[in-house]
Amino acid sequence: MIKPLFTCIATFVCMAAAAQDYKSLPMWNPALSFEQRVNDVVSRLTLEEKVAQMLNAAPAVPRLGIPAYDWWNEVLHGVARTPFRTTVFPQAIAMAATWDTNSLHRMADYSALEGRAIYNKAIELGRTKERYLGLTYWTPNINIFRDPRWGRGQETYGEDPFLTAMLGRAFVRGLQGEDPKYLKAAACAKHFAVHSGPEPSRHSDNFNPTTYDLWNTYLPAFKELIVKANVAGVMCAYNAVNTQPCCANDFLMNDLLRNKWKFNGYVTSDCWAIDDFFKYHKTHPTATAAAVDAVLHGTDLECGQTVYKTLLDAVNNGLMKESQLDISLKRLFMIRFRLGMFDPVEMVKYAQTASSVLESDAHKAHALKMAQQSMVLLKNDQSTLPLSKKLKKIVVLGPNAHNPIAVLGNYNGIPSRIVTLLDGIKEKLGSNVKVVYEKAINFTNDTLLNYTDVTAQYSWNGSKGFKAEYFDNRELQGEPVFTKTETSINHNWQRGDLIGNNLGASNFSARYSTHFKAAHTGSTLFEVEANDGYRLLVNDKEVLNAWQRNRWGAKTYELPTIKDRAYKIVLEYWQGDDDANVALRTGNYERTNFAALAAKISDADAIIFAGGISPQLEGEEMPVNAPGFNGGDRTSIMLPAVQTNLLKALKQTGKPIVFVMMTGSAIATPWESENIPAIINAWYGGQSAGTAIADVLFGDYNPAGRLPVTFYKSDKDLPGFSDYAMKGRTYRYFKGEALYPFGHGLSYTSFQYSGLKMANNTAKGRAVNVSVLVKNTGRRDGEEVLQLYVAHQQSKNDAALRSLKGFKRISLKAGESKTIHFKLTAEELSLVNAATGEMYQPKGKVLVSVGGGQPGIKIQRTSNVVSRELTLL
């Protein structure tokens, strides 16, 4: 017994000594190349350690000094889902509407800085193993928004491959930085590939795009980011392409990504996508088979914690070699080394980023600027806009008038302050104009909760009201700091406020307990609204849960009641940083009488209706089943009928009406487009959306946003949602008349294009220089988005009607002119061979058009389009 004990002690001592000496290992020597250091660390890992490092939540390896690290983080439009307050820029589709690569580059740069500050803080607090605190961001989403019904289309840069590629490239370069050695942060192009809904079937879908559609639509943006922008990561999609799951697809992963495009970064699966191999696609018999095939196809990391654990047995049973794991591990550790995670702080300038950059003035100013830039003025009959600031009374109504969730989009962070449309208008006009607010309707119905006071029916241990317990942590742990009785729950604490007993209104939790005595037999509706998280229990049974991710706003629970019976009610709540609020309300549903509402507000000088949809209805695999919506997607692109009916009633007032539409996708508004004089598409505009909209409404900002998607007239214009053929889709292949075409957007001034210059012909493989003169012919300073389109006049039927090949956003003072230059490359003058997918340049005529929108489109606009023919020799 003595010898084994001695051996154990000796082993422990040796391990302790090794742990103390790991800094002397080559992997920790910054004088060596990253490649040498990566090879060293991988060579020292045991098989068990190697497998664990291929999971998104990679554990620490103390003997080598490797800290725990979770690869999963998000930065779609600002650092998301973090426990810290961050700057929230407009949703991705809104940023696409700016058509401004410089703005997007700066937004990504600012977001990376905030991400660095958060990561540095996580190191300081010993929290690097937590999700949403790392430097590997699974953004941008560069899938093509081919169908407006897709709920996640809001995360993309629109329907055009060229616009998506240019904006995506700007984002990646801004996020990753320009340091020759270190990454500021690591971007990840997703979802590779051919992925754009439907959400409910994404785990089992198989798509078979034509070679032409694959190379002309679904792959160009990925090629741009991988080959030219040097994106650090790629995420493979849930779906299958040509019967093989994307994460184990011969063509996508091997032939194209690693061989043709020479990608040497890391690939992560979408979350739990490897499970889909054997659960839903049924292409693999077991988890082990799925894991082996994914790794052999170059999927280096599993977003998940189960399937890749079987790799241990796979190697031990001879199903794959350990050296095949090493290939993936070297890619993963190379990213961590390039992020400076194993180098002294003084060597990595980004590692010195202070927390003061979070929500800095410059970042907040840029969030406002991008929100302003994203506003698309769809219609403005008889110069209804801008409105005068000298009006006496304005009515603001609709489900998005005062909805903070709508402006944040999805995959969002939480800022210290959110400006809704109502907030923005009130701040803009001050006390000089009476601003009246009515919610009036929900998104899909006209029934609202009418609140009632039931405080007399609450009691706890003989005292009226609630027993309120407050804790100095977020988890209701330990003894409460203090306990008191409160008559009701309706709290709004600002940053720095004290709740009581020196407990500040941040990083705390509370439990509110009471008995509710029913006044009647029937039912009572309880509504909870809080920031950050909460859960409601009735008779010790959980009935509402928004504890982890409270992004859906107020939630309701209908309690069946018997008169005089008491029901135990417990509301548990936690708050992180900054402002805090929690409220428990009761009431009954009542329908809005549109005629009565219209009569009530008929004395208004102007009516602003804020409608559309919201991230509460469209998004990723959501539990939503409302009329027109299913599982995160839309079943109809029509504006919900209740909103049209309300607008019809409002029109009877005879007062000017402005429709502010918030959405992450195209909405069909045929009646509104005919009958409402002014329509603004405001998207999900981020933390400063309300300020930006008010700036446009009252003329302090001249709008210049352009649509990155086509707004169709009705559902009849769309092919089947699951049909991935591009025929009849997007501005490039849709032969009908759009309600509002891709690239459309009005201004408060006007622009005139003239003097389009370029060569009459060009030889194969040569670039063509194009220039055009544009003049602001109006009386206001303004911005203009120049768009260059190419149309091959003698192309085959499958070729695009026209394709965007250049764009620039410029500013012009009233009366000012500028000559703007473009260069059309040989590739941009080429077509895709439908049989091989290769690019070729055909002989014949090409129509080159430059202007403020597409050529040949009949629609009101504030600029023209000029065109010339180019002969390809």
The sign of the CA dihedral 516, 519, 522, 527 is: negative
The answer to whether 734 touches 717, Cβ cutoff 8 Å, is: yes
Confidence class of residue 795 from pLDDT cuts 50, 70 and 90?
confident
**Model pLDDT for residues 520-549, shown as the tens digit of each residue:** 999 999 999 998 899 999 999 999 999 876
**Model pLDDT for residues 557-603, shown as the tens digit of each residue:** 999 999 999 999 999 999 986 668 899 999 988 999 999 999 999 99
Closest CA to 273 of 313, 252, 244: 244
**Model pLDDT for residues 101-120, shown as the tens digit of each residue:** 999 999 999 999 999 999 99
Neighbours of 816 (CB within 10 A): 14
At residue 129, what are phi and psi to the nearest 5 degrees?
A: -80, -10
The answer to whether 473 touches 507, Cβ cutoff 8 Å, is: yes
> Residue holding tokens 């091997």?
254
Q: Say which range, 244-258, 283-297, 481-495, 667-681, has the weakest mean pLDDT.
A: 481-495
Q: How far apart are CA 348 and CA 340, in angstroms?
A: 6
- Beta-carbon contacts of 597 under 8 Å, excluding residues fewer than 6 positions away, are 438, 440, 646, 649
The answer to whether 120 touches 353, Cβ cutoff 8 Å, is: yes
Confidence class of residue 4 from pLDDT cuts 50, 70 and 90?
very low
Q: pLDDT over 70 for what percent of the chain?
A: 96
Residue from 74, 302, 343, 618 carrying the catalytic annotation: 618
Structural domains in the chain plus CATH codes: 365-447+592-733 (3.40.50.1700), 464-492+505-588 (2.60.120.260), 751-872 (2.60.40.10)
Neighbours of 529 (CB within 10 A): 17
pLDDT of residue 21: 85
pLDDT of residue 551: 56
Joined tokens for residue 226: 């991988």
- Beta-carbon contacts of 246 under 8 Å, excluding residues fewer than 6 positions away, are 191, 192, 193, 194, 195, 236, 237, 238, 239, 240, 252, 253, 273
Q: How far apart are CA 782 and CA 736, in angstroms?
A: 31
Strand partners of residue 377: 680, 746
The answer on pLDDT for 776 being more than 70 is: yes
pLDDT of residue 578: 63
Residue from 70, 74, 160, 270 carrying the catalytic annotation: 270
pLDDT of residue 858: 86
- Beta-carbon contacts of 306 under 8 Å, excluding residues fewer than 6 positions away, are 275, 287
The answer on pLDDT for 225 being more than 50 is: yes
At residue 271, what are phi and psi to the nearest 5 degrees?
A: -70, 120
Q: How far apart are CA 338 and CA 37, in angstroms?
A: 11
pLDDT of residue 576: 84
The sign of the CA dihedral 94, 99, 101, 106 is: negative
At residue 51, what are phi and psi to the nearest 5 degrees?
A: -60, -45
The answer on pLDDT for 155 being more than 80 is: yes
- Beta-carbon contacts of 232 under 8 Å, excluding residues fewer than 6 positions away, are 136, 176, 183, 186, 187, 188, 265, 266, 335, 338
**Model pLDDT for residues 617-633, shown as the tens digit of each residue:** 999 998 887 899 999 99
**Model pLDDT for residues 343-383, shown as the tens digit of each residue:** 999 999 999 999 999 999 999 999 999 999 999 999 999 99
Which of residues 492 and 198 earns the better pLDDT score? 198
Q: 338 vs 33, 181, 206, 325, 661, CA distance in Å?
A: 11, 7, 36, 20, 43
pLDDT of residue 580: 84
- Beta-carbon contacts of 338 under 8 Å, excluding residues fewer than 6 positions away, are 34, 181, 182, 183, 186, 232
**Model pLDDT for residues 18-60, shown as the tens digit of each residue:** 555 899 999 999 999 999 999 999 999 999 999 999 999 999 9
pLDDT of residue 549: 61
Q: Tell me the whole-structure pTM to 2 decimals.
A: 0.92
At residue 379, what are phi and psi to the nearest 5 degrees?
A: -150, 145
The answer on pLDDT for 802 being more than 90 is: yes
Give the H or E element holding residue 792.
Answer: strand 782-792
The answer to whether 658 touches 606, Cβ cutoff 8 Å, is: yes
The answer on pLDDT for 15 being more than 60 is: no
Mean pLDDT, range 696-723, rounded to an integer: 98
Confidence class of residue 492 from pLDDT cuts 50, 70 and 90?
confident
- Beta-carbon contacts of 146 under 8 Å, excluding residues fewer than 6 positions away, are 159, 196, 217, 724, 726, 729, 730
Q: 385 vs 180, 379, 729, 812, 858, CA distance in Å?
A: 49, 9, 32, 20, 22
**Is there a catalytic annotation at residue 270?**
yes
DSSP state string for 134-191: SSB----B------TT-GGGGGS--S-HHHHHHHHHHHHHHHH-S-SS--SSB-EEEE
Closest CA to 69 of 148, 129, 26: 129
| Alpha helices by DSSP H, 562-718 | 594-600, 641-651, 670-675, 689-697
The answer on pLDDT for 495 being more than 80 is: no
| Alpha helices by DSSP H, 778-853 | none
**Model pLDDT for residues 299-344, shown as the tens digit of each residue:** 999 999 999 999 999 999 999 999 999 999 999 999 999 999 999 9
- Beta-carbon contacts of 849 under 8 Å, excluding residues fewer than 6 positions away, are 788, 789, 790, 791, 802, 855, 865, 866, 867
The answer on pLDDT for 797 being more than 70 is: no
**Angle between the N-to-C axes of helices 322-338 and 287-296, in degrees from 0 to 180, rounded to the nearest 10:** 60
Mean pLDDT, range 787-798, rounded to an integer: 86
The answer to whether 677 touches 657, Cβ cutoff 8 Å, is: yes
Q: How far apart are CA 106 and CA 826, in angstroms?
A: 29
pLDDT of residue 12: 41
The answer to whether 449 touches 589, Cβ cutoff 8 Å, is: yes
pLDDT of residue 843: 93
The answer to whether 358 touches 86, Cβ cutoff 8 Å, is: yes
Q: Say how far residue 765 (Cα) sits from the centre of its chain.
A: 38
Within 13 A of 338's CA, how many CA atoms are on the CB side?
Answer: 24
**Is there a catalytic annotation at residue 618?**
yes
